[in-house]
Amino acid sequence: MQQPVRHAGRRLVAGIPALWLAVFFLIPFLIVLKISFSEARLAIPPYAPLITWLHGLPIPNIHLSSYAYLFTDPLYLRSYLYSIMVAAVSTLMCLALGYPMAYAIARAGEAWRTFLLMLIVLPFWTSFLLRVYAWIGLLQNDGLVNDVLLRLGLIHHPVTLLQTNFSLYIGIVYSYLPFMILPLYANLEKHDTALLEAAADLGARPLTAFLRVTLPQSLPGIAAGSLLVFIPAVGEYVIPTLLGRTDQIMIGRMLSDEFFDNRDWPVASAVAILILLLLVVPIVLLQRVERREREAET
């Protein structure tokens, strides 16, 4: 009697969340895919069905016009490339700042380490939107940053910092820095310092030892952190809207504008599919890196 009951129970435990995610995560994507191939029309909802029935016969009504539009409109292509560039540069900046930070935490004393990690994670618990908003106050023409620069005599007139690439990068690096630091820390903390000592004993200078021993070992951490920053940064909507340029929008904003302002659901869906195509490779890479790290632990 025990076995069937147990199996039915297990099926429920795994089945209920799986069913939920199928309905609210998987099927929605299929709908986006479907709508990206339909024709826009003035109706509610504003797209034509993929298949119409005529005298009992299915007539396919599949259109590639949304994709054709996206590939021929230079405005769209530019925004696609701009998003990739912004995400890539922000990732490098996060790495440049996050790596030494993670390194310092990993080498700090036991009691310090917990406290420092808490300081890194704490901003994550406070509203993302409000933290991005804080930069508007800091970067505007009469804001704190310009004020400090003026007082130091570094500049003589306020510099326009808001709605530039600079403020966009600040916003993204600021928001995603913890995502870079945490996987790097998790990796660096496991390193065996005996290897470094051995390198030093063999006459390696600290920089050489770092480049030949620490850096290669931390590559999985670098990969995980970079992917965790790059993937969400590509589709970022809030930061470019509040801090970014007005003459060059990112692809997440493009999707939202097509949907809400132009009410073109097929084009918005096609944009979503193209963002996903761009992210498939990084997401698969991320899963592979994380699986390998987990296996290395056990």
Partner 1 sequence: MSRRGVFSRTALVLGLVFLYVPILSMIVYSFNNSRLVTVWDAAHSPSLKWYGVLFSDGQVLDAAWLSLRVAVCAATVSTALGTLAGTALARFGAFRGRSLLVGMTTAPIVMPEVISGLSLLLLFVALQQAIGWPRGMGALTITLAHISFCMAYVTVVIQSRLAGFDESLEEAAQDLGARPAKVFWRITLPLILPAVLAGWLLAFTLSWDDLVISQFVAGPGSSTLPMVIFSKVRLGVSPDVNALATLMVSVVASGVVVAMVWMRRRQRRRERDMQLAAATNL
Specify the 3-state DSSP secondary structure of 1.
coil
Tell whether residue 148 is a contact of partner 1 (CB under 8 A). Answer: no
Q: Which is nearer to partner 1, 72 or 126 (CB)?
A: 126
Q: Report 185-224 residues binding partner 1 (CB under 8 A).
A: 206-207, 210
Residue 124's contacts (CB-CB under 8 Å, 6 or more residues apart) are 178
| Closest separation in Å from C-beta 157 to partner 1 | 16
Q: How many residues bind partner 1 (CB under 8 A)?
A: 85
Place of tokens 């440049």: 96
Where do runs of H (alpha helix) occur along 127-264? 128-139, 144-151, 165-189, 193-201, 206-209, 215-217, 219-234, 238-243, 251-260
Contact pick of 86, 218, 265, 270 for partner 1 (by CB under 8 A): 265
Stretch that binds partner 1, among 50-58, 59-67, 215-223, 252-260 (CB under 8 A): 252-260
- 127: number of Cβ within 10 Å: 9
**Eight-state DSSP code of residue 107:** H
Q: Residue 65 or 241: which CB sits closer to partner 1?
A: 241
Stretch that binds partner 1, among 19-27, 50-58, 62-70, 151-159 (CB under 8 A): 19-27
CB 184 within 8 Å of CB 97: no
Q: Is 119 in the site for partner 1 (CB under 8 A)?
A: yes
Q: Which of 92, 122, 219, 281 binds partner 1 (CB under 8 A)?
A: 122
Rounded distance between C-alpha atoms, residue 285 and residue 280, angstroms: 9
Contact mark string toward partner 1, 74..93, x via CB under 8 A: --------------------
